[in-house]
Amino acid sequence: MKKILITRRLLRSCEDKAKETFDANFNLNDELYSQQKLIELSKGCDGILSSLTDKLDAVTINKLPDTIKIISNFAVGFGNIDLEAAKSRGIAVTNTPEVLTDATAEIGVLLILGACRRASEGIASAREGGWKWSADYLIGKQLTGTRLGVLGMGRIGQKIAKIAKSLGMIIHYHNRSKLSDDKDQGATYHDTLKGLLSVSDVLSICCPASKETVDMINKETIEYLPKGAVVTNVARGDIVDDEAMIDALERRKIYAVGLDVYKNEPNLNPGYLKHKSAFILPHLGSATKDTRTAMANLAIDNIDEYFSTGNCKNKVN
Ligand code: NAP
């Protein structure tokens, strides 16, 4: 049986499956391992089932024991792992695509609705009581007829586009490559970020964090958006320059933001907390029982597949 370090707790049924499949080393207190502790606990292990809270940078990967052959990340994103460093040490990295698309797209749509329809302010007023209905009370932005720009029209972006289209939104997108007709759902393709932003009344950020996308939404690119645009991010915090976004909220260049992910989670930039127009969630994208179960089972299966066949369809490096 392969010995696997599982860095965070999983749902019980998934831990049972891990126990049946591996000699599993669990993190019973669900503590956040330091990079040093992760290296120490990896000794004698064949693989690591990691989560997005583990920072597996080049320095950490280079200190892992030679016995480690796979890092199976419990997420579709893998911005927390230095893929090149892993590759040069002969360590396969795998992820959990598809199984979390629906749940994450639901949160992506919630961000759009919450930011456009002033849900944060509405919830606070309803809880406080004493609010008085009037014709112009908490007026928000209607989605019907509004242009949605999807930055990163992959699995999650396409599902958000599908739901948004059913709400009457007009879909535009930007990827590095144009989608085939069966996937684009009639959406308009923009081959530049500038082209997409200039038509985005509402922006939904759905691309991965990478060297190319870090701070892609910044002081300069925010200016391409129409005045009063809404920006939502269900992908990764690293894609947005927070200071520039908070400044744009202050100047009313940006009407509202809807955020599920942040730089330096869970310590989000306090500037967002000052803005009633910030509809913020604590990284809930994949947080449903069905999805978290499917993700963990896939992360386990990825390890099993790799050791039984020498390869894995979800290998990303
Ligand atoms: P995906 O299917 O790989 O889609 C990513 C899309 O981004 C692709 O269409 C890709 O198209 C585009 N893209 C990549 N690099 C780009 C660039 N430099 N400029 C413009 N577009 C770019 O991934 P997914 O399954 O939809 O997941 C997307 C991301 O969502 C993940 O990487 C993860 O970080 C995040 N996520 C968040 C949560 C959460 O809890 N909030 C949950 C799951 C996933 P091209 O390759 O043609 O450019």
Reported as a pLDDT band with limits 50, 70 and 90, residue 52 is very high
Please give the pLDDT value at position 134: 97
As a whole number of angstroms, the distance between CA 276 and CA 124 comes to 9
Q: Which CATH number fits domain 101-280: 3.30.565.10, 3.40.50.1440, 3.40.50.970, 3.40.50.720?
A: 3.40.50.720
Q: Which listed residue (117, 283, 292, 305) is catalytic?
A: 283
Fold of 3-98+288-309: Rossmann fold (3.40.50)
State the average pLDDT over residues 302-317.
97
Please give the pLDDT value at position 196: 98
Sign of CA dihedral 84, 85, 89, 94: negative
Type of residue at 42: S
Please give the pLDDT value at position 27: 97
58 contact partners, CB below 8 Å, separation of at least 6: 82, 84, 85
Torsion angle, CA of 220/221/227/233, rounded to 10 degrees?
-130
Q: Cβ of 184: how many Cβ atoms within 10 Å?
A: 17
Reported as a pLDDT band with limits 50, 70 and 90, residue 43 is very high
Reported as a pLDDT band with limits 50, 70 and 90, residue 66 is very high
Q: Which listed residue (8, 118, 172, 236) is catalytic?
A: 236
Q: Is the CB of 206 under 6 A from ligand 1?
A: yes
Q: Do the first three CATH levels of 3-98+288-309 and 101-280 match, i.e. the same topology? A: yes
Please give the pLDDT value at position 38: 97
Reported as a pLDDT band with limits 50, 70 and 90, residue 307 is very high
Please give the pLDDT value at position 20: 97
Which residue ranges make up each domain of the chain? 3-98+288-309, 101-280
Could you report the per-residue pLDDT of 10-20, keeping only the tens digit for each? 999 999 999 99
Number of H helices, E strands in the chain: 12, 12
pLDDT over 90 percentage in the chain = 100
Could you report the per-residue pLDDT of 234-259, keeping only the tens digit for each? 999 999 999 999 999 999 999 999 99
Q: Which of 140, 25, 10 is nearest to 75 (CA)?
A: 10
Please give the pLDDT value at position 84: 97
HSE of 267 in the Cβ direction (CA atoms, 13 Å)?
1
Is 190 labeled as catalytic in the residue annotation? no
pTM of the model: 0.97
Q: Is the CB of 268 under 6 A from ligand 1?
A: no
Run of H or E residues at 232: strand 229-233
Please give the pLDDT value at position 298: 98
Reported as a pLDDT band with limits 50, 70 and 90, residue 104 is very high
State the average pLDDT over residues 207-222.
97
Q: Is the CB of 222 under 6 A from ligand 1?
A: no
Centroid of chain to Cα 207:
8
Please give the pLDDT value at position 176: 98
Reported as a pLDDT band with limits 50, 70 and 90, residue 220 is very high
As a whole number of angstroms, the distance between CA 291 and CA 285 comes to 10
Q: Is the CB of 236 under 6 A from ligand 1?
A: yes
- Assigned token pair, 233: 């991010």
